[in-house]
Amino acid sequence: EIFDSYKEKDGHTRFMMTEAYASLEDLMKWFGTEQRPGSHMPFNFDFIMSINSGSLADDYKRLIDEWIAAMPSFGSPNWVLGNHDRPRVASRYGRDRAAGLAIMGMTLPG
């Protein structure tokens, strides 16, 4: 509502991203509802929190499917591979896997 009120004043759209290390169920609450929107994009830290160098394709697919199934139709999907709280992706997974993850991130919706 606050962001919408700014748009009404100057015509510029604001976009709110939120950062919370929380369960999938709790993250979905950050989107709000269509009648009362919340965050446009709560960060999806599943890849940071649940994936490691031993993870298999099925592990990635499960996380992707779970996020998409839980996300409201008006939400923006996102796939955070790294941030200021974690070592770089290449340091965690190696260069080859980091390149594959970058490609995956660019081809997923969002």
pLDDT at 12: 92
Question: For residue 43, which of 71, 77, 12 has the smallest C-alpha distance?
Answer: 77
Residues 35-63 have pLDDT tens digits of: 998 999 999 999 999 998 899 999 999 99
The model carries a pTM of 0.85
Establish how many alpha carbons lie within 13 A of residue 53's alpha carbon, considering only the half-sphere containing its beta carbon. 9
pLDDT of residue 2: 83
Is the Cβ–Cβ distance between 14 and 3 less than 8 Å? yes
Bridge partner residues of 17 (DSSP) = 41
Domain range list for the chain = 17-107
